[in-house]
Chain A
Amino acid sequence: MKQKNILIIILDSIRADKFFGKNKASKIPNIEKLIEKGVYFENTTSPSDGTLLGWAGIFTGQYPFRTGITIGGFSKINKNIPTIFDLLKEEYNFYGHLPEVASKIGLFPKFENKNVFFNKYTNFEDGLGEEIISEFSNLKSPWCYILHSYDMHFPIKLAEKFDQEKYGKTKYDRVMASIDHWLGRILDSVNLDETLLIITADHGTHINELLIDDESLDIEKDQMLNSVAPKIGKIIPEKLLPLKSKVFFALEKKRKKQKEKNISNLNLEPHEVRQVMFQRGDLDKFLYDENVHVPLLFVDSELPKNIKINKLARAIDISPTILDLINSDHKFEKSDGSSLMQEIHGDTVDEKFGFIENTPLIQKKANLVIGIRTKKYKYFRDSEDPSQRVYLFDLEIDEFEENNIADSRPDIVEKMEKYISKINYKISSDSIIPDKKETKIIKNELKKLGYD
């Protein structure tokens, strides 16, 4: 039997609510057609709000914290963690286009094509789209193609021809339309009868732009600081990194103040304030759904058509599902993720939970959170202290995560903590033998009780 080709498309920063569903405002006809042809998971969570940790989860089937990949180009995958590429390397030829940082983390395979890794400001419109299309006629089957689109990655660069109202009211929607256009063109050059197609995102994003009375309002539009802050890295040489970091955070602070002023007269909902006030340099991190709720679509000739599944799926389930869908003899020996075939076939499955964690900042120690996403609940709290910055939302009645119920539902908080402990996220301080200081306190206490 002929091996299927595999095309995995990762759309950087694409949120689930902008890809499918009642809040989608963008013009994306090609994506809509693909959803009709495939199986779409409405409730998919990425393991993190950053690209590298997102990739680690997708391609290893394990939670990123187990893989060795943490941030930037500073960490590489542990050699003993197998990727889906390791499992498929005897049978498949690998091709792809990914941002440059992908070349530094040891996660990806040896690619057959040239110029795989592109500069982070490269979009489909910059020639990448045409290059991809031209490649598809020369791929050696069976192939596995990994395409990571950076079009929606900050800072967003919108091609002039898509900067029109007919493509959407907001910049985000217009970029979505542009991505959709290119997806249509690229997929026209692929034989989908012989290909398993997966479209997902590495993580979501905040959208600084608001729709007020059906008009787009960019809180930072025309402000110098918006464009200057991210460019600091280019201006200042590597050896002056500490200075660069200082300048960056000073500018971020100033931006925040300006934004606060700009929205002070607007009657915004809490989730809208959260969206517009978010900045990459914020030290208090969160894991709202705009960061981690991602689209997940499987299109395959053997799969049912136009199926929407609202059970929880996780990015860590993608690779185990691919192995099932291509009838591979290979399986992950250890995996946090599991194949989604049961969900696809409508079988009863135990409730799944997905562990989520912030991607750390490179320049500064941030206040990170970790948490759990189930179909019904979102939970996150300080990554080091479970009693700090505790948030719990009932997503079924509070889709925008505005009503923190952590205080009134200690039972659910405890259940979520049980899930965290189940996956052995680092070693809990609870299990460490008391140190000298603690022993001294204990002995003193016992003495007070008369037990000396």
Chain B
Amino acid sequence: MKPNIIFILLDGARWDRITKSNEFQEICKEGTLLNNVSTAMPYTIGSINVTFSGLYGKENGIDGYYKMLRLKKTIKNFPEIFQSQGYFTGCDVLTDKIIPDRGFDIHQVHDEYNDDLFQRHPEFIKKCLKNAQEKPLFLFLYFSKIHTNTVSEVLKKYEWNDKKFYENKEENLERYDSGFKDAGKYSKFILNELKKNNLKENTIVIFFSDHGTGIGERFGERNYGSFTYEETIRTFYLFIGDGIQKNRQSDSLRATIDIFPTLMNLCNFDLEFERPGSSFVDYLLNKENDLEQKSFTFSETGALHGPYPSPDISNVFAIKTPKYKMMYSKAQKEWQFFDLQNDSMEKNNIFTGKTNIELELKKELENWLNRE
């Protein structure tokens, strides 16, 4: 029997603030948390489309904010694939452009300022169950509260270069945590709602973050999308459901491109897509004790605002290993190199361009950038 798949996006949730929500910590005990997952793009539209297509922006068509309508018709993403395999597919998202309606039986949009998602999403789940007529479900729910707080309390109040914002990190963090706590409450609530609707058995729920959110750690990053530091590119994925190991957490390095092959395996689809990611299904199903680390992950971005805006195409790139991160800013023609183990906040750029590891990572990043 095909499992129901329910993706729940906590837009802008930071991996390092999970501990601030008791509710989220509670639900973590019900599943397996991967909390070192590099997003390929630290902004929602880019990130979601990479996760749902299993392809980087260059290959899926969305490699810039201004390419948001350009998901290639020739590639297949989750809703189309699940629909092709007999699923009923539905989403309730922030805007209709977050992800195209291709493959969705229900593609609906909520008003982040006026809709109560605690009421709306249970209704949406019931509607999908009714319309599905016994078909398995593929659902995508979008919790937008952190995003809404960021827009109302940061973007509307501070210009990107307003020093006041960067000087009030503690206040920013407190405000951010308040939003995250709401996300935790919502997560626990919606998980219960799913259970109430008999979506406990044969169901896999995936709570995930599309990107983190800066709170003023560095000048120019008012929220996310400008750079590729840990506060925005490191994300988490929490898997809960049948066969998924409970109360387990891994810091092993993975990437959002790995979600696609993992889902193909979890659902036992007999399909052969060519994708760059690798599945970690055996770890989720407890067939392997340790989550295999990736040697490196890639991320890229092009900001809407800030010192080096580039909404047409990415201009900041990063390669991350379990120990190091190297970044390249095309606008500044500048390289940065960080020792993540000893400098987790990436404050000390130790780029020399001469050590073996730097040369190796530089070469790997250049190969990735110049790929056909």
Which positions in A face B, CB cutoff 8 Å?
Answer: 385-387, 407-415, 417-418, 420-421, 428, 430, 433-434, 438-439, 441-442, 445-446, 448-451
A12, chain B: closest CB distance, angstroms: 34
Chain A residues positioned under 8 Å from B147 (CB to CB): 449-450
Q: Are B65 and A446 neighbours in the complex by a CB distance under 8 Å?
A: yes
Quick one: which of B73, B272, B305 has the most chain A CB within 10 A?
A: B73
Q: Are B151 and A449 neighbours in the complex by a CB distance under 8 Å?
A: yes
Q: Are A408 and B273 neighbours in the complex by a CB distance under 8 Å?
A: no
Question: Considering only CB atoms and an 8 Å cut-off, how many residues of chain B contact the other chain?
Answer: 35
Chain B residues positioned under 8 Å from A433 (CB to CB): 312
Chain A residue at minimum C-beta to C-beta distance from B269: A411
B57, chain A: closest CB distance, angstroms: 12
Contact with A along B146-183 (1 / 0, CB 8 A): 01101110011000000000000000000000000000
The stretch that binds A, out of B77-85, B280-288, B322-330, is B77-85
A249, chain B: closest CB distance, angstroms: 31
Q: Are A421 and B94 neighbours in the complex by a CB distance under 8 Å?
A: no
Q: Are B67 and A446 neighbours in the complex by a CB distance under 8 Å?
A: no
Q: Are A451 and B271 neighbours in the complex by a CB distance under 8 Å?
A: no
24 sample A-B contacts, Cβ–Cβ < 8 Å, listed by A number: A385-B73, A386-B73, A408-B85, A410-B81, A411-B76, A411-B273, A414-B273, A414-B274, A415-B272, A417-B74, A428-B72, A428-B74, A430-B70, A430-B72, A430-B74, A434-B69, A434-B70, A441-B69, A445-B95, A448-B95, A450-B147, A450-B155, A451-B65, A451-B304
Q: Which of the residues A418, A420, A439, A448 comes within 8 Å of B274, measured between beta carbons? A: A418
Chain A residues positioned under 8 Å from B156 (CB to CB): 450
A198, chain B: closest CB distance, angstroms: 35
**Residue B75 is within 8 A (CB to CB) of chain A in the complex:** yes
From known contacts A410-B81, A446-B304, A449-B95, infer whether A438 and B271 are also in contact, taking CB-CB under 8 Å. Answer: no
Chain A residues positioned under 8 Å from B148 (CB to CB): 450
B78, chain A: closest CB distance, angstroms: 11
Q: Which of the residues A409, A441, A442, A445 comes within 8 Å of B271, measured between beta carbons? A: A409
Whole-angstrom CA separation of A451 from B152 in the bound complex: 11
Chain A residues positioned under 8 Å from B312 (CB to CB): 433
Whole-angstrom CA separation of A451 from B44 in the bound complex: 12
B24, chain A: closest CB distance, angstroms: 24
Chain A residue at minimum C-beta to C-beta distance from B313: A433
Whole-angstrom CA separation of A411 from B70 in the bound complex: 20
**Residue B66 is within 8 A (CB to CB) of chain A in the complex:** yes
From known contacts A410-B271, A414-B273, A451-B155, infer whether A445 and B68 are also in contact, taking CB-CB under 8 Å. Answer: yes
Whole-angstrom CA separation of A288 from B91 in the bound complex: 37
Q: Are A411 and B66 neighbours in the complex by a CB distance under 8 Å?
A: no
Chain B residue at minimum C-beta to C-beta distance from A416: B74
Whole-angstrom CA separation of A417 from B273 in the bound complex: 12
Chain A residues positioned under 8 Å from B271 (CB to CB): 409-411
Q: Are B151 and A445 neighbours in the complex by a CB distance under 8 Å?
A: no
Which positions 30-74 of chain B face chain A at CB distance < 8 Å? 44, 61, 65-70, 72-74
A310, chain B: closest CB distance, angstroms: 22
From known contacts A408-B85, A445-B95, A450-B151, infer whether A414 and B76 are also in contact, taking CB-CB under 8 Å. Answer: yes
From known contacts A407-B84, A418-B274, infer whether A439 and B76 are also in contact, taking CB-CB under 8 Å. Answer: no
A355, chain B: closest CB distance, angstroms: 14
Q: Are B76 and A445 neighbours in the complex by a CB distance under 8 Å?
A: no
Whole-angstrom CA separation of A412 from B269 in the bound complex: 13
**Residue B97 is within 8 A (CB to CB) of chain A in the complex:** yes
B319, chain A: closest CB distance, angstroms: 25
Chain B residues positioned under 8 Å from A430 (CB to CB): 61, 70, 72-74
Q: Are A442 and B304 neighbours in the complex by a CB distance under 8 Å?
A: no
Whole-angstrom CA separation of A428 from B74 in the bound complex: 10
Contact with A along B242-270 (1 / 0, CB 8 A): 00000000000000000000000000000
Chain B residue at minimum C-beta to C-beta distance from A411: B271
B180, chain A: closest CB distance, angstroms: 18
Whole-angstrom CA separation of A67 from B95 in the bound complex: 45
Chain A residues positioned under 8 Å from B76 (CB to CB): 410-411, 413-414
Q: Given A410-B271, A414-B74, A445-B68, 20 other A-B contacts at CB below 8 A?
A: A385-B73, A387-B73, A409-B271, A410-B76, A410-B81, A410-B84, A411-B81, A411-B272, A414-B76, A417-B74, A428-B72, A428-B74, A434-B67, A434-B70, A441-B69, A449-B94, A449-B147, A450-B147, A450-B151, A451-B305
Whole-angstrom CA separation of A84 from B72 in the bound complex: 37
From known contacts A386-B74, A413-B76, A449-B95, infer whether A442 and B85 are also in contact, taking CB-CB under 8 Å. Answer: no
Chain A residues positioned under 8 Å from B72 (CB to CB): 428, 430
